[in-house]
Amino acid sequence: MENQNDLTENVKKKQMLRTYNINTPQYYFYKEMHKNQSIDYVKEKQKQYSILNNRKMDIHKALSLLDEYIDPSDPDVDEENSIHAYQTAERIRKKYPENKQLQITGLIHDLGKVLFSLGEPSWCVVGDTYVLGCEFPECIVYYDTLKENPDFKKYDKNGIYKEGCGLDTLYISFGHDEYLYKVLQHNSGKHKLETKFLDIIRYHSLYPWHTGGEYRQFMNEKDEETLKNVNMFNEFDLYSKEDDTDIDESVKQYYKSLLDEYFLDELEW
């Protein structure tokens, strides 16, 4: 159990991380994203990536591609993304040394960012996600820039959805969460990760939901469980950004074997 000191430390840290100021690179990033990620755009991307015939590669190769990617939406990380992958996994390993699937989830959760290598613009790869087809809640980061979205003020609170319809039926802005989820689902015979870990990956950037408390009316029973898991996961994803950026060779070796144990073959991306 965390004691009171740890808890206040965490609240303080949370306030320091994820600070979004105006006229920063993050601001211009989200302005582009919010202008372009409309419901029609999401439907088109969903369709495009329902067929995964872009390339074949194993999970190690995908991880190494993140050596070349720095996330422009993140105010707290200016290292290449593969470091963030190891940092997240290592935080998890310290707390849950036996939970290998959770460690792998930490390691691979951002691998969908390889979308950049398929030529997608950053605003279709990273950033906090939000739901299309219903009202935009004001807790969305840089909410004001959503005024340029074609769907702004088009829908009421529930929009095109019914209460309790389940998160899986929502159109969510497209990016690395949904792409990696699709890849893992499509290649389900080639890895041993259970569904609940896939769901963490699918919704980890939906900040208005897991941190902002929005979209709760759409949740079904399964989503209650996912919410708990995503919030637990988010602590590792977020706070690990302050950890050592030198990744030891022995650490890399540990995860290499772990991936070999859970991924059996090349994946279709």
Please choose, out of 7-15, 24-32, 189-197, 233-241, the segment that lies near Fe ion by the rule CB under 5 A.
233-241
Tell me the H-state helices in the chain. 4-16, 25-36, 39-48, 59-65, 81-95, 100-108, 176-186, 195-203, 207-210, 221-239, 249-262
Please choose, out of 2-10, 43-51, 236-244, 247-255, the segment that lies near Fe ion by the rule CB under 5 A.
236-244
Among the listed residues 140, 129, 149, the one whose alpha carbon sits nearest the alpha carbon of residue 34? 149
Which DSSP state fits 137?
A: P
User: Residue 110 or residue 214: which is nearer to Fe ion going by CB?
Assistant: 110
In the numeric block, the tokens 């159109």 are attached to 171
- Say whether residue 71 binds Fe ion (CB under 5 A): no
Please choose, out of 91-99, 210-218, 231-239, 260-268, the segment that lies near Fe ion by the rule CB under 5 A.
231-239
Please choose, out of 37-45, 150-158, 188-196, 237-245, the segment that lies near Fe ion by the rule CB under 5 A.
237-245
Tell me the H-state helices in 97-155. 100-108
User: Residue 191 or residue 204: which is nearer to Fe ion going by CB?
Assistant: 204
Q: How far is the CB of 45 from Fe ion (least distance, A)?
A: 17
Instruction: Say how far apart CA 102 and CA 241 lie, in whole Å.
Output: 18
| H, E, C per residue of 48-66 | HCCCCCCCEECHHHHHHHH
Per-residue x/- mask for Fe ion, residues 78 to 117, rule CB under 5 A?
A: --------------------------------x-------
Q: How far is the CB of 84 from Fe ion (least distance, A)?
A: 6
User: Residue 49 or residue 161: which is nearer to Fe ion going by CB?
Assistant: 49
User: Residue 42 or residue 151: which is nearer to Fe ion going by CB?
Assistant: 42
Instruction: Say how far apart CA 18 and CA 160 lie, in whole Å.
Output: 31
* Residue 69, SS3 per DSSP: coil
Q: How far is the CB of 58 from Fe ion (least distance, A)?
A: 21
* Residue 182, SS3 per DSSP: helix
Contact call for residues 178 and 85 (beta carbons, < 8 A) = no
User: Residue 115 or residue 131: which is nearer to Fe ion going by CB?
Assistant: 115
Distance of CA 155 to the CA centre of its chain: 25
Q: How far is the CB of 207 from Fe ion (least distance, A)?
A: 10
- Say whether residue 237 binds Fe ion (CB under 5 A): yes
Instruction: Say how far apart CA 176 and CA 174 lie, in whole Å.
Output: 7
Q: How far is the CB of 244 from Fe ion (least distance, A)?
A: 17
State how far the alpha carbon of 227 is from the alpha carbons of 71, 223, 246, in Å.
24, 6, 32
Other beta carbons within 10 Å of 145: 20
Q: How far is the CB of 110 from Fe ion (least distance, A)?
A: 4
Helix (H) / strand (E) element for 153: namely none
User: Residue 161 or residue 255: which is nearer to Fe ion going by CB?
Assistant: 255
Q: How far is the CB of 125 from Fe ion (least distance, A)?
A: 10
User: Residue 220 or residue 234: which is nearer to Fe ion going by CB?
Assistant: 234
Please give the residue ranges that form the binding site for Fe ion (CB under 5 A).
110, 237
